[in-house]
Amino acid sequence: MNKLSAHQGRFIVFEGGEGAGKSTQVKALVAKLRAQGLEVVQTREPGGSPGAEALRDLLVRGDATRWSPMSELLMMYAARADHLEKVIRPALERGAWVVCDRFADSSRAYQGAGGGVAPAFIEQVDEAVVGHTQPDLVLVLDMPVEAGLRRAHSRGDAENRFESKGVVFHERLRAGFLKRAAQAPDRYRVIDADREIETISADIWSHVHGAFADLRGV
Ligand code: TMP
C-alpha cells in the first residue's frame, strides 16, 4: 500500500463522529505497533503541536455559534499547517509511523457535509496545506449518531462545542464520512464502532496488518 505515498513513514488516521471511541482505539493500535519495535508518533487534531493546541481551545470550547463553518475551516487548516510542519512531516521523513486522531476528513465532514462549506473550496485549501502528505490508511469508526452523542455527553468535559450542534448536523457528517470512504476503498476502512472495545481493536489490527506489507515481516 505504501508504494504510492510521498513519504518514508506510514500515516494512519482515525476518523468518525462523536463518542465513537476513537481515542481508546488510537491508544490500543499505538501500543500494538510499538510492541513490534516500531517508532510511533501518537497525535491528534485539532492540535498535536503547541500552536495547534492553542487553536484547539478556541475551536472546541464555547457556544455552538461562536464561529461560522468557514471560520472553523480556516482555523482547522491553520492548526493543520502547523501540525504538519512541526510534527507530522518530520516524523514521516525519518520513517516513523504516525497515528493521528482525526485529520482532514473531519474538516470535510464537519465543516463541509455538516456545515455547508463548498467541497471544491475545501479541496483547494487541502491541496495547499496538506498536498502530498495524505494518509496511507483511514479508519472510519462508525456508529449510530444518537448513541455516539449519548456517550460523548456522558464524558461531561468542556470540549463540547461540536457535540451541541444537534442531531441533524451529526447525521450529515456521518453520511459525509461514509461517502468519502466509499469513494476510496483502497485507503479507507469503515469499522462498526458499536461493539465491544476488544472486538473493535482486533478488527482494526487485522485491517492495519492487511494494509501494510512491512508489518507482516515483523
Ligand atoms: P475530538 O473530540 O475527537 O478530539 O475532536 C474535537 C472536535 O473537533 C470534534 O467535535 C470534531 C471537530 N473537528 C472539526 O470540526 N473539524 C476538523 O477538521 C477536526 C480535526 C475536528
Predicted confidence (pLDDT) per residue in 134-179, tens digit: 999 999 999 999 999 999 989 888 888 998 898 999 999 999 999 9
Question: To test ligand 1's pocket by mutation, which of 49, 77, 102 has the most ligand atoms within 8 angstroms of CB?
Answer: 102
Ligand 1, residue 44: give the atom nearest the CA: 4
pTM for the full model?
Answer: 0.96
Residue 2's pLDDT is: 46
Residue 3's pLDDT is: 46
Residue whose C-alpha cell reads 451541541 in the numeric block: 164
**CATH homologous superfamily of 10-213:** P-loop containing nucleotide triphosphate hydrolases (3.40.50.300)
List the grid coordinates of 82.
Answer: 502547523
Cα-to-centroid distance, 46 and ligand 1 (Å):
6
First to last CA, the chain: 16
Question: To test ligand 1's pocket by mutation, which of 14, 18, 25, 45 has the most ligand atoms within 8 angstroms of CB?
Answer: 45
Buried b (16+ CB within 10 A) or exposed e, 133-164: bbbbbbbbbbbebeebbeebeeeeeeebbbbe
Q: Say how far apart CA 65 and CA 15 lie, in whole Å.
A: 23
Residue 5's pLDDT is: 66
Q: Say how far apart CA 139 and CA 187 lie, in whole Å.
A: 9
Cα-to-centroid distance, 216 and ligand 1 (Å):
32
Q: What is the mean pLDDT of residues 71-99?
A: 98
What does pLDDT average to over the chain? Answer: 94
Q: Say how far apart CA 151 and CA 18 lie, in whole Å.
A: 8
Q: 7-53 pLDDT, tens per residue? A: 889 999 999 999 999 999 999 999 999 999 999 999 999 999 999 99
Question: To test ligand 1's pocket by mutation, which of 15, 25, 60 has the most ligand atoms within 8 angstroms of CB?
Answer: 60
Ligand 1, residue 77: give the atom nearest the CA: 18
Instruction: Give domain limits for the chain.
Output: 10-213
Cα-to-centroid distance, 7 and ligand 1 (Å):
25
